[in-house]
Amino acid sequence: MQARKLKIEKSSARKSMTYQLSILFIENDGGWSAQCLEHDVAAQAKTLDQLYYEVERVLVAQIALAEELSHEPFRGLGPAPQKYWDIFKESRIEVKRPAARQLLLRPKIRVAERVAA
């Protein structure tokens, strides 16, 4: 089990926001999972490298959708269950993000118009 803090930054011409989130990385049989603690958001991937990308992708999508809907990011998402907080607290391994991956996700996000079903 590995725990780390992940810093996600979002900037725009209008405003700049920084989100400091605690993320628990858990190695499972055949893959990895990540659980955000402050907001009950999770991701899964086969490798740790892929998991970094998936975590960012899910969090950026939450932020972009909230902005489109004029909501606060993560509105309505409570914290992760207590068991993940306990595991995170007990974990002594802090994972540093590989420098080569720092600039991987520079999203240009557009939210499509809603189409009637």
| pLDDT (tens digit per residue) in 1-18 | 656 555 555 555 556 667
User: Is residue 112 situated within a structural domain?
Assistant: no
**Residue 108 domain flag:** no
Residue 114 lies in a domain: no
Decide: helix, strand or coil at residue 56.
helix
Residue 66 counted as domain residue: yes
Alpha carbon 33 to its chain's center: 11
Residue 89, CA atoms < 13 Å, CB-side half-sphere: 5
pLDDT at 28: 83
Residue 97: which pLDDT band, with cuts at 50, 70 and 90? Answer: low
Specify if 22 maps to a domain: yes
Whether residue 14 lies inside any domain: the answer is: yes
Helices (H), 2-81: 48-68
Mean pLDDT, the chain, rounded, equals: 77
Q: In whole angstroms, give the CA distance from residue 97 to residue 14.
A: 29
Residue 50 lies in a domain: yes
Total tally of structural domains belonging to the chain: 1
Structural domain including 16 reads 2-101
Asked, for residue 107, whether it belongs to a domain, the answer is: no
Specify the 3-state DSSP secondary structure of 50: helix
